[in-house]
Each structure stands twice: as structure tokens, then as C-alpha cells.
Amino acid sequence: MLSHTEIMKYASSLKGEDYMNEIQIAFFKKVLLKLKEDALSQRSDNFLQNRISNSCTVITASNSLIAEINLALDRINDKSYGYCCKSGQEIGLERLLANPLATLTIEEQEKAEKSPKNNVKHYTAVQFSHALHEVEEE
């Protein structure tokens, strides 16, 4: 699990670099692929463990996460990854390190959360720390 200090250290090492350069894109692509691998593995493990019981909720949540990871990988391919889908502004390395699936800047996320019309999914850094840690070790 990457600590806040480790995340900030990595982010600091990238300062002065062009935002979403090849190195950063390659790093986040690795993270996203690791997240996808973990989600697929977890879905399979959970399915086997819950064969008798109703595992639809687990599978649905896993499928949703995998779909979001695939969308993030699509954004990497079309070079929109790291930019807010509402404002077009940079999401920021610190935020992406904490949540590689982020599609909104903090400001836009706060607006969305305050709006009763929007039902925005929330992911915690804990869900992504495992994959980030493994990528850092490589």
C-alpha cells in the first residue's frame, strides 16, 4: 500500500515534467492494467467462494470496476486521460495517484457531490493502493 508520503514523493519527482508525458502515461497504464488483473482475479475468486450463495452483487461490483478501468484505458489511448471530463483541466498527478480512475478535478467532483441530481461513484485510495504498490516495486 502506498502511503500519502510515497504518493507525494512520486508526484514531486515528476514536477517540472510535462503533464501526462510518456513516462506518466506508461506508469498509469501499468497501474490500470494491474487494477484490472486484480479485479478479474478477485471476481473469479469470489465467484468460486460464493458458488452456492448469491454472488450477483460481488460480480456486478467487479464488472462495474472493470468497466471503469476499461474506460480509463480508453482515455489513455485517446490521450484524454488525466484531464477532467467536464472542464478539460488537468486532474493532477496527486489525485490520479490516489485514484487512477478519477475523471473529474477536485473542484468538479465537489460540485457533482453537492448536486442532488448527480450520483457520483466514489472510490477510495485503499482500493487502488495494492496495484500502485506493485507497480512501484517493478
Write down the domain spans for the chain: 4-131
CB 99 within 8 A of CB 128: yes
Global pTM value: 0.67
| 80 CB-near residues (< 8 Å, 6+ apart) | none
Architecture of domain 4-131: Up-down Bundle (1.20)
DSSP type of residue 18: P
109-129: pLDDT as tens digits: 999 888 766 555 555 555 566
| 13 CB-near residues (< 8 Å, 6+ apart) | none
CA distance 25 to 81: 8
50-107: pLDDT as tens digits: 554 555 555 566 678 899 999 999 999 999 999 999 999 999 998 998 899 999 999 9
